[in-house]
C-alpha cells in the first residue's frame, strides 16, 4: 500500500539560494511515515505513550534534483519489508507540477522500548501493516 502527501516549500525550508536545504528532506520523510501509519490506524503518539518507539537505524537518500521555494512536493511512501522488529520504508519525492523526481529514500526503522532496546513490534500494529 502506498500513501501520498504533499508539502509546500516555504522560505524557511531553503538555503540562501532558494533551494531546499538537503537535511529538510529527512524531516519531510518523517512526516510522511507518521501519516502513512496514521492512515492505517496506528498512532505514533499512542505507541510512545505505551513505551514503544521507532528508531531510524539507517537512511539512504539519492538526491536527483532540487526542490525550490514555492514548489509543492509530493511524497509517496510505502513499506517494502517488515520483520518482527523492523520496517523498511521507501519514499519517492517528486515536484508536483512537473512530476520530476527530486529524492528517493530508504529508511529502516527498529522497534524499541523506552530505553532504546530493540523489541518485537506490537502484534496489533504488525497486523495492520499486513
Question: Catalytic site residues?
Answer: 15
The continuous run of DSSP H or E covering 25 comes out as: helix 24-39
Do the beta carbons of residue 6 and residue 67 sit within 8 Å? no
Please return the burial class of 86, using the count of CB atoms within 10 Å of its CB with bins 0-12, 13-18 and 19+.
Answer: middle
The x, y and z cell numbers of residue 62, run together, are 539519492
Amino acid at each position: 500500500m502506498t500513501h501520498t502527501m504533499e508539502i509546500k516549500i516555504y522560505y524557511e525550508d531553503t538555503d540562501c539560494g532558494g533551494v531546499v536545504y538537503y537535511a529538510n528532506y529527512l524531516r519531510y520523510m518523517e512526516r510522511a511515515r507518521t501519516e502513512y501509519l496514521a492512515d492505517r490506524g496506528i498512532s505514533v503518539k499512542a505507541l510512545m505513550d505505551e513505551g514503544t518507539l521507532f528508531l531510524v537505524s539507517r537512511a539512504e537518500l539519492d538526491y536527483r534534483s532540487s526542490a525550490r521555494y514555492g514548489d509543492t512536493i509530493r511524497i509517496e511512501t510505502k513499506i517494502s519489508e517488515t520483520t518482527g522488529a523492523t520496517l523498511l520504508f521507501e519514499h519517492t519525492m517528486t515536484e508536483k507540477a512537473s512530476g520530476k523526481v527530486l529524492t528517493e529514500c530508504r529508511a529502516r526503522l527498529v522497534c524499541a522500548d523506552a530505553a532504546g532496546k530493540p523489541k518485537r513490534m506490537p502484534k496489533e500494529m504488525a497486523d495492520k501493516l499486513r
